Amino acid sequence: MIKFKLIIALIVFTHNMFAQDTFTSEDILIKNDSIQLPGTLTYNADLKSQPLIIFIHGSGNVDRNGNQGMMAKANYIKMLNDSLVSKDIAFFRFDKRTATQSNMRFIMSNMTFEGFVDDVNTIINTFKDDNRFSSITLIGHSQGSLIAMLVDHTYVDKYISLAGPSNSIDQTLVEQIRFQNGDDMANKVESHFKELYEKGHIENVDPMLMSIFNKPTQPFILSWMKYNPSEEIKSVKLPILILNGSKDLQVPIRDAETLHAANPNSKLVIIENMNHVLKSIEKDEDNITSYMSPDFPLSEELIQVIETFIKH
C-alpha cells in the first residue's frame, strides 16, 4: 500500500430545491493511502456557516446511499441526508471501503477493524479546517457507532450513536444467532469465537458458519472482537445522543439502555416504530420489506431529535 494520504476533491455542483432554499452537492474523493472513499457533501451554499454531519455506516458493503447491491435497497442514508440538509445541516456520506471495488485488492489480504477507524479519521481531517462548517457531528450507525467512539475526537463536537450494539461483536452475534436459530447453532458460534480468540485462527470451520468465519475474514473478526462498546463509550467526552428504534430487529432497545448506563452523561431517546434502517414501520410484516424498498418513510421523530441535538 502506498504510504501517503491524498485528498482529491472532484466538485460537481447540483442544485436541489428544499422549500425555498438552494442546496449544493459536491462529489468528493477522499483517499486514505490507497483506499478510495468516494462520497457526497451536501450543504446550503447561501449560509456562511452551518453544522456538518459525517455519517458512518454499519457492517457490510454499504454505499453512501445506504444500499448494498441486491441485499438492501432502503436508500436510508440518502433520505436522512435530504431531510437534515433541508434543516440547514450539512451532510457528508461516503461509500464504505468494502463497497468500492477498486479497494478489494488492498483490503482482502489485510483488513482490520482499525482500518475503518482510520478512514473516518482521514475524513474528519478533510473537513476540520473547512470554514463553511461551524461544528462536526459524527453519526455512527450500527457497527459505525463503535467506529465513531474510537476515532480521534480532537476536531469533533458531538457524537450520535444510532442503533449501536452495546456488546463486543462475538457476544452480539452469539445473542442474535441464539434468538434466530436456537441454542445449538449459537453454541457452535460461541465455540468458534473462543478458538479464534485463543489461537488467532479457527482450524476447522463449520460449513454452516463459513460466511462468518471464512479464513480471510478471521483476522478482521479478531481485530473487531477486541472492542466492547460499553467500555469504549465511557471514554467519550463529547455530548452524546443515543438513539434506537422500538422496531429494530437487529439491535434491541436494551443495547441503547446499556450504552446510556455506561455513560450516564449521554441523552437516550427511543423512537417508536423506527426499525434498523431508520424507517417508520406500522406493521411488523413490513419490517424486512422496508430493507428492500426506498418507499417507506424515515422516522420524522428521528429527524427532529437529531436537529435539536445538533443545533442546541
Report in angstroms the alpha-carbon separations of 226 from 61, 68, 201: 22, 26, 15
Contact 90, 50 (CB under 8 A): yes
Residue entry with cell 445473542: 175
Q: What is the pLDDT of residue 21?
A: 56
Amino acid 111: pLDDT: 87
pLDDT reported for residue 3: 39
Residue 147 has pLDDT above 80, yes or no: yes
Helices (H), 34-167: 76-85, 104-107, 113-127, 143-150
- Using CA atoms, how far residue 270 sits from 129, 247, 252, in Å, is 34, 10, 10
- 310 and 51 in contact (C-beta within 8 Å)? yes
SS (H, E, C) 285-297: CHHHHHHHCCCCC
pLDDT digit string, tens, across residues 271-294: 999 999 999 999 999 999 999 999
Decide if pLDDT at 179 tops 90.
no
Share of the chain above pLDDT 90, in %: 85
Please tell me whether residue 308 adopts helix, strand or coil conformation.
Answer: helix
* Averaged pLDDT of the chain: 92
pLDDT for 70 equals: 79
pLDDT of 105 strictly over 90: no
Lowest mean pLDDT among 1-10, 14-23, 88-97: 1-10
pLDDT digits (tens, 9 = 90+) for 204-246: 999 999 989 998 899 999 999 999 999 999 999 999 999 999 9
Helix, strand counts (H, E) of the chain:
12, 10
Neighbours of 258 (CB within 10 A): 18
Residue 138's pLDDT band, with cuts at 50, 70 and 90, is: very high
What's residue 7's pLDDT? Answer: 40
Strands (E), 211-262: 240-245
Which tens digits make up the pLDDT trace of 153-165?
Answer: 999 999 999 999 9
Cβ neighbors of 8 (< 8 A, separation 6 or more) are: 28, 29, 30, 31
Q: Are 35 and 77 in contact, with CB atoms under 8 Å apart? A: no
pLDDT digits (tens, 9 = 90+) for 43-70: 999 999 999 999 999 998 999 999 998 7
Q: What residues does 6 pair with on adjacent strands?
A: 31
pLDDT in tens, 10-44: 434 444 444 445 799 999 999 999 999 999 999 99
- Neighbour-count burial of 209, counting CB atoms closer than 10 A to its CB (0-12 exposed, 13-18 middle, 19+ buried): middle
Whether 307 shows a pLDDT value over 60: the answer reads yes
Neighbours of 18 (CB within 10 A): 15
Length of the chain: 312
pTM of the model: 0.91
The pLDDT of 94-110, averaged and rounded, is 86
CA-based nearest residue to 112, from 32, 179, 188, 190: 32
Domains in the chain: ranges and CATH: 6-165+240-311 (3.40.50.1820), 172-218 (no CATH)
